[in-house]
Amino acid sequence: MKLTIFETGRPPAPVSDRWPRYPVMLESLLSPHLAIAAVETIAVGEGEALPPVEQVEAVLITGSPSGVYDPLPWIQPLKSFVRRAAAASVPQVGICFGHQLLAAAFGGHVAKAPQGWGIGRHTYAVSDKEPWMECHGRNSLHMAVSHQDQVLEKPDVASVLASSDFTPYAALMYRHAPALSFQGHPEFDPGFARDLIASRRGIRFGEKEADAALESLAGPLDNAVVGSWIAGFYRHHLPGARAQPEAVQAAA
């Protein structure tokens, strides 16, 4: 399988010298569960051109410090691209900003959440079971999060896969197209999540919020579960994308 990753942002300067870029994190998340023949990273947030839809096999959209409503020159073209890709049945997965962008592109509403910043480790109830959720019949997910924006109104074509009181639309899947998205960050190593919070404490959120978020990260994260689900989603919609047998056995 060839995976095209749209890089919509980078780790901020205080932590970027210690951690890899988001596409590298995401490839590391997926590679134990999926036979990826090639990865193409396109830094759309830095002005790199979008490819023709017909040249793309599978899409993954990263997180970003930008908002999907920001008047940046690359955001509307990216929304248009995901709509064309949906019409062409290209499987697409969005993470954080990517989750919000898919929702906005398909008719939802994204804005700053009235409940404020989501940071640390959040727990979500899983409200549906899909055939691509191989090996993991889970009722809940624990994920690292870092977001101020949320999907406040989901698109009519979206179904809720996971939710919490803080984030009612924590994971969405789409009925009109092969698309899946998560507000949380399954690619975040707990150490990266801690460094990110530490770099922003007292700047984007208060000391008490930062301390509570750091304490929450002592709990386990379900990164491998979500990675296996994303891989299963791609395989389900791309029959030629075969799993590595040893990876499937390990995920079990």
In DSSP notation, 149-172 reads: EEEEE--TTEEEEEE-SS-TTSEE
Q: Beta 58-61 vs 92-95: how paired, if at all?
A: parallel
Of 142, 187, 209, 237, the active-site residue reads 187
Question: Can you tell me the distance from the alpha carbon of 138 to that of 232, in angstroms, rounded to the nearest whole number?
Answer: 15
Question: Can you tell me the distance from the alpha carbon of 182 to that of 161, in angstroms, rounded to the nearest whole number?
Answer: 9
Q: 159 with 175: CB under 8 angstroms?
A: yes
Q: 186 with 198: CB under 8 angstroms?
A: no
Of 96, 122, 147, 237, the active-site residue reads 96
Q: Which of 41, 40, 44 is nearest to 78 (CA)?
A: 44
Residue 135 annotated to the active site: no
Q: Which of 230, 216, 74, 73 is nearest to 146 (CA)?
A: 216
The first and second tokens of residue 234, run together, are 């791609």
Which sign, positive or negative, has the C-alpha torsion 121, 127, 132, 136? positive
The first and second tokens of residue 60, run together, are 């993954």
Catalytic residues: 96, 185, 187
